[in-house]
C-alpha cells in the first residue's frame, strides 16, 4: 500500500484534533493551535522531508551512486 502525503497529513491532524477534544472533555486546556496551523505545520514538515528524500535518492550524492551512474553510462545503459 502506497501512502500519499495528503493522507498522512490528514491522519496526523485527525489524531491531534482527537487529542485536543479528549483534553477539552476532561477539563484540560486544549492545544493552543487551530486546525489550520496544525495542518500547515505537518504539511510543511512532510514537504521538507519528502523533498530531502527525493533529492537524496534522485541525485547522485553517494560515492556508490556516482559509480553506478558511471558504470551505466560506460556500458550504454543510460
Phi-psi region of 27 (alpha: psi -120 to 50; beta: other; left: phi over 0): left
CB 29 within 8 A of CB 23: yes
pLDDT tens, per residue, the chain with 78 residues: 577 777 888 888 888 888 878 888 888 876 677 778 888 888 898 899 888 887 777 677 778 888 888 998 899 886
The pTM (predicted TM-score) of the whole model is 0.46
d(CA 65, CA 73): 12
Q: Quickly list H helices, the chain.
A: 5-25, 35-58, 63-74
Amino acid at each position: 500500500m502506497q501512502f500519499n502525503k495528503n493522507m498522512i497529513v490528514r491522519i496526523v491532524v485527525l489524531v491531534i484534533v482527537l487529542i485536543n477534544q479528549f483534553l477539552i472533555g476532561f477539563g484540560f486546556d486544549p492545544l493552543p493551535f487551530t486546525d489550520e496551523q496544525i495542518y500547515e505545520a505537518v504539511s510543511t514538515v512532510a514537504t521538507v522531508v519528502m523533498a530531502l528524500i527525493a533529492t537524496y535518492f534522485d541525485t547522485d550524492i553517494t560515492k556508490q551512486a556516482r559509480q553506478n551512474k558511471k558504470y551505466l553510462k560506460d556500458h550504454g545503459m543510460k
